[in-house]
């Protein structure tokens, strides 16, 4: 928080535009000893030229050794310490489906579950992974819940998962999960506040659970619900206030739009669905903003599928589009990732991600290839992702001198 105040004090209008391109889950691992990573395997003449002209390094977007979730990783890239600004899972679920969250909202994840009608115990914590259609049906039924003085929003996520947002004054989130994490041994846990300030919220949540259980009782197999990850949305200091930058997000997935909105970016609604659409969107709006976050989703999706060829292809697709961003002549252009998603692991990993920054005031280093390995010897060194934003701002001359 303190550093954000320092930047705010030093902020000034940039001399040009900043473009930050984030390939989600870009970082990878070799498939066999001595082999290339996905990024090394991809043919990327434009990214390599960027590395050669620019300055490279490796970023730990949460902290060394920590595997970032998508929310914390992006917060880190936007300059917010994810260890300080802990966005709870309930909130991330709400953001992930594009729910327009407001400061003070209390969010939680819902699992529809199966309750044994004889014992009252949780028999299946996921209700047999009901299809999305069934989930939507249940969510529609839950619209009948009515709590005086509190708005309640229930939304489908996927299969057995949904989320709920409570909107009322003074809702705090020190509330235990109601998921007993066991099967056929206990009923759902009662809603318990673990701090006095959260007792009011726990009372409202308990009333929600009471009504919801009554509504669901005749359903099958999802005749109950479990709540997890209570999280209040405390307004973040806005990126647009920390820097003197008008910021826009170009992303096609709700989660990234949501995180961008949290930090005060305008989320452009004409980003389209394809990567080419996103670059076209950047071109259309280039005059309107100072800072652009352009998000490439599919590197991560294919990494999680373990689909090596498809991940390599998306990297090459992004490489081929890069000249369109460069042709706009931004003052600073950076390419990086939120985290690694190596195809051999099929999940997010802790490996740091490569970054390359190009701009008139960049001091070039010896790196001439954009890869995890080459960037390790870059002029940026290995640093926490939270340092990227001030470095980008500095290179756009958007930060004044610290002290005299």
Residues at the site binding its own copies, with contacts judged by CB under 8 A: 2-3, 6, 10, 27, 29-30, 33-34, 37, 53, 57-58, 62-72, 82-83, 86-87, 89, 92-93, 345, 347-352, 361, 363-366, 372-373, 376-383, 387, 389-395, 399-404
Q: Which is nearer to its own copies, 212 or 312 (CB)?
A: 312
Q: How far is the CB of 348 from its own copies (least distance, A)?
A: 6
Q: How far is the CB of 231 from its own copies (least distance, A)?
A: 10
Q: How far is the CB of 243 from its own copies (least distance, A)?
A: 11
Q: How far is the CB of 318 from its own copies (least distance, A)?
A: 21
Q: Which is nearer to its own copies, 88 or 221 (CB)?
A: 88
Q: Which is nearer to its own copies, 41 or 150 (CB)?
A: 41
Q: Which is nearer to its own copies, 320 or 397 (CB)?
A: 397
Alpha-helical regions (H) of 290-371: 298-305, 308-326
**Distance, CA of 232 to CA of 205 (rounded, Å):** 13
| 104 and 171 Cβ atoms separated by less than 8 Å | yes
Contacts of residue 100, Cβ cutoff 8 Å, sequence gap at least 6 = none
> Cα separations (Å) of 367 from 37, 48, 81, 300?
17, 9, 28, 25
Q: How far is the CB of 70 from its own copies (least distance, A)?
A: 7
Q: Which is nearer to its own copies, 260 or 281 (CB)?
A: 260
Q: Which is nearer to its own copies, 68 or 264 (CB)?
A: 68
Three-state DSSP class for 348? Answer: coil
**Distance, CA of 113 to CA of 127 (rounded, Å):** 4
Among the listed residues 332, 369, 343, 333, the one whose alpha carbon sits nearest the alpha carbon of residue 354: 369
Q: How far is the CB of 106 from its own copies (least distance, A)?
A: 17
> Cα separations (Å) of 24 from 156, 170, 258, 347, 361?
24, 36, 15, 12, 27
Q: How far is the CB of 125 from its own copies (least distance, A)?
A: 18
Q: How far is the CB of 161 from its own copies (least distance, A)?
A: 12
Q: Which is nearer to its own copies, 229 or 318 (CB)?
A: 229
Q: How far is the CB of 301 from its own copies (least distance, A)?
A: 16
Residue where the block lists tokens 């669901």: 216
Q: Which is nearer to its own copies, 6 or 214 (CB)?
A: 6
**Distance, CA of 390 to CA of 369 (rounded, Å):** 24
**Distance, CA of 311 to CA of 308 (rounded, Å):** 5
What stretch of H or E contains 90? helix 89-96
**Distance, CA of 80 to CA of 61 (rounded, Å):** 10
Interstrand relation of 161-167 and 151-158 (parallel, antiparallel or unpaired)? antiparallel
Q: Which is nearer to its own copies, 298 or 358 (CB)?
A: 358
Residue 220 is given by DSSP the state S
| 69 and 348 Cβ atoms separated by less than 8 Å | yes
């Amino acid at each position: 928080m303190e550093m954000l105040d320092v930047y705010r004090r030093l902020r000034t209008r940039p001399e040009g535009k900043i473009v930050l391109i984030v390939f989600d889950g870009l970082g990878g691992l070799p498939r066999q000893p001595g082999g290339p990573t996905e990024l090394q395997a991809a043919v990327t003449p434009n990214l390599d030229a960027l590395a050669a002209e620019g300055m490279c390094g490796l970023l730990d977007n949460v902290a060394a050794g920590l595997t970032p979730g998508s929310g914390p990783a992006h917060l880190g890239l936007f300059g917010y310490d994810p260890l300080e600004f802990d966005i709870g899972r309930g909130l991330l679920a709400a953001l992930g489906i594009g729910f327009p969250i407001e400061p003070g909202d209390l969010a939680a994840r819902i699992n529809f579950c199966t309750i044994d009608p004889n014992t009252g115990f949780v028999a299946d914590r996921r209700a047999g992974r009901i299809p999305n259609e069934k989930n939507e049906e249940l969510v529609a039924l839950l619209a009948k819940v009515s709590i005086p003085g509190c708005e309640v929003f229930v939304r489908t996520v996927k299969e057995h998962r949904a989320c709920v947002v409570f909107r009322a004054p003074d809702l705090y989130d020190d509330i235990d999960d109601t998921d007993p994490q066991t099967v056929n041994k206990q009923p759902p846990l009662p809603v318990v506040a673990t701090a006095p300030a959260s007792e009011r919220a726990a009372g409202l949540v308990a009333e929600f659970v009471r009504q919801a259980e009554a509504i669901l009782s005749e359903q099958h197999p999802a005749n109950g619900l479990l709540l997890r990850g209570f999280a209040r949305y405390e307004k973040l200091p806005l990126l647009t206030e920390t820097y003197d930058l008008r910021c826009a997000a170009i992303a096609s997935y709700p989660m990234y739009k949501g995180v961008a909105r949290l930090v005060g970016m305008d989320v452009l609604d004409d980003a389209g669905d394809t990567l080419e659409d996103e670059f076209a969107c950047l071109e259309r709006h280039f005059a309107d903003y100072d800072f652009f976050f352009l998000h490439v989703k599919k590197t991560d999706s294919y990494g999680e599928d373990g689909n090596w060829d498809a991940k390599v292809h998306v990297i090459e697709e992004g490489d081929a589009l890069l000249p369109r961003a460069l042709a706009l002549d931004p003052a600073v252009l950076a390419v990086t990732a939120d985290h690694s998603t190596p195809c051999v692991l099929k999940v997010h990993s802790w490996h740091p991600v490569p970054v390359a920054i190009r701009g008139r005031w960049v001091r070039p280093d010896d790196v001439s290839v954009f890869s995890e390995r080459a960037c390790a010897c870059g002029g940026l060194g290995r640093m926490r992702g939270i340092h990227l934003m001030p470095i980008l701002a500095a290179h756009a001359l958007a930060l004044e001198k610290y002290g005299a």
